[in-house]
Every structure is written in C-alpha cells, then in structure tokens.
Amino acid sequence: MRYQRVLLKLSGEALMGEQNMGIDPSVVAMVADQIKDIQKHGVEVGLVIGGGNIFRGVAGATKGMDRVTADQMGMLATMINALALQDALEQKQVQTRVLSGIEMPRIAESYIRRRAIRHLEKGRVVIFGSGTGNPYFSTDMAAALRANEISAQVVLKATNVDGVYSADPKKDAKAQRFEKVTFQEVLEKGLKVMDASAIALCMDNELPILVFNMMKPGNLVSAVLGESVGTLIH
C-alpha cells in the first residue's frame, strides 16, 4: 500500500551517530535528506522525535529526581532535537513547522490539531515536539496519539535494525525476523517495539505500525511507497 500521510517516529538516540550523547549534524542531515525524498513523492509527513540523546525523564526519576520534573526536562530535550531537525530540513528548502505540546511561542507554534493538519495539507513537514505535553507519557505514546489525531495512515517506527525480531538479533544469532505480526502477538510475546500503551492505542484505532531500518539509504522511500521493508504490525 502506498501511503499519503505518515507519522515518522524517531528516537533521540538516532541523532547521536557514533557519539555518546548530543546531536551529530551529519546524521541529522541524512535524516533530512530522506524526509525530503519522500516529500518529492507527495507524501505528507508528521514527525515525533524522542529526547534520549540529551535527557531521558525515566532515567532521571530512577536516580531520585521528581518524576514530573524529570519528564518535563525530557520534553524540553525533544524540542532541542525538533529545532535541529527543522533547521536541517529548511537548509534543504523543505518548509517545516515545529508544533509544541508545551507553550513556548518564541520558539514554536503551540499544538492545535487543525493547524497541524492544515500545515500538512500545504506540504509542510510538521515536527511535534514536547511529546504529549504531559508527564508519564513517552514519545512512543506521543507518536501514536498524534498519528491518530492527524489521521495518518501508518506510524513509521525508525530503528537501526530491519524490523521486529523474536529476540535481539545483535545478541541472538537464531533470532527470527517477522514480516508481519499482529498487535496482540506483540503484546503477548513482549516484543520490544514501542510502549504497550502506544501499541494498544494503535490497535484500538486500527492504525498499523511499520518498523524499519532508517539507517539504510532509500528505506524510508521504499516504506512509504508500500514496498516490502521491515515488519508491519497490524
């Protein structure tokens, strides 16, 4: 199936490259190139990005921080990544808007569903920053929520492996890759794809998730054109 409107979920760690933390400009540029490529095919692109390369709220909470404060710091980290990606896209002449779940009008527009959809209809890439704007919710959940709100046809979960496996393929040579798997199987087998709450939200609203390796050039275009890449969760 060829998709017309997609929600791309990127982890913050994906932007680190070979670094231990922070943002690798060459990786951000590579991601921007791939997004520009799918835009050429007339695909409307929404994007949710994590903040784990800068700060992870759950990690802060486990070390004694107040969970709400830690999550708010994590949301700010996603905004740093969102602005970095916006800059990279606009340097490649791709019109981009950052919409934040937390009001910060000097930096980004506040998230309003109808505004987001209008930007998409005008051919702009929309980056949803600050997660859901609420503590205790991961950016996986934000991706599932925003995808449903903007009526995306699929959540594209970008990873550094080529799909969902029965075990970690980097640790288990016998791990098997699934071409297709149901939401129920993901939950029952405890497959590490996204948060269980995000999986459940997509399952309840019949929104498929495609897990694929974005580090392989051309994979994102193949995914939106409906070619066989990664694992489809349905």
Segments of the chain scoring below 70 in pLDDT: 1
Amino acid making up residue 169 = P
Q: How many domains does the chain have?
A: 1
Question: Who contacts 98 (Cβ-Cβ below 8 Å, separation ≥6)?
Answer: 79, 82, 83, 86, 107, 108, 109, 127, 129
Instruction: Tell me which residue range forms the domain holding 106.
Output: 5-233
Cα torsion at 213, 73, 16, 19 (round to 10°)?
-140
Write the CATH number for 9. 3.40.1160.10
Pairing of strands 109-110, 164-165: unpaired
pLDDT at 1: 65
- Cα–Cα distances (Å) from 73 to 26, 48, 126, in that order, read 25, 17, 22
pLDDT at 62: 87
pTM of the model: 0.95
- Torsional class of 97: left (φ above 0), alpha (ψ -120 to 50), beta (otherwise): beta
Instruction: Record the tokens describing residue 67, joined without a space.
Output: 């969970």
